[in-house]
Amino acid sequence: MRECCRSTRFFKKIYLQLRKVCGLQFLLFEAFWMARTPRSTTELALKRTELANDRTLLAFIRTALALGGIAIAVVKLFAGTGVYVVAALSGLLAVLVFVLGFYQWRQSKHFMKGEKDLN
């Protein structure tokens, strides 16, 4: 904890010196930079949670694409009627995984905005 406080003071000192030297250009950069940075730890936690939710959606999409690829590979590599059943089941499972992943992502997104409960 002390290291963080020391480094914060160090960077604040550098920041104030740069502000004196650079003048107006630095103030313009500061206005742009401050507009893009979250203001509180609550905002940071919310942003982190949103990014985790997006990563989860991407994992669902990756899994669905893998299942779809398995369905295509089974049809291309093997012959027979049983193969088409396995490929169809794999394809349906891929669509189901994608839909459930998107539904979970959307539900979590609405919960984070405070629009509804997670139930």
Domain that includes residue 63, residue range: 41-119
Same domain assignment for residues 97 and 114: yes
Check residue 95 and give its pLDDT. Answer: 96
Same domain? 23 vs 45? no
d(CA 96, CA 87): 14
pTM above 0.75, yes or no: no
Chunked in runs of 10, what are the mean pLDDT values of the chain (119 residues)? 57 71 62 60 83 93 95 88 89 95 91 73
Are residues 15 and 60 part of one domain?
Answer: no
Q: Which two tokens stand for residue 53?
A: 């939710």
Q: Does residue 76 share a domain with residue 18?
A: no
30 and 61 part of one domain: no
Cβ-based burial of 46 (10 A; exposed 0-12, middle 13-18, buried ≥19): middle
Q: Within this chain, do residues 82 and 95 fall inside the same structural domain, yes or no?
A: yes
18/16 Cα distance (integer angstroms): 5
Residues 21 and 68 in one domain: no
Considering only the C-alpha atoms of the chain, give the largest distance between any 2 of them, rounded to a whole number of Å: 77
* Whole-angstrom distance, CA of residue 26 vs CA of residue 52: 33
- Same domain assignment for residues 53 and 69: yes
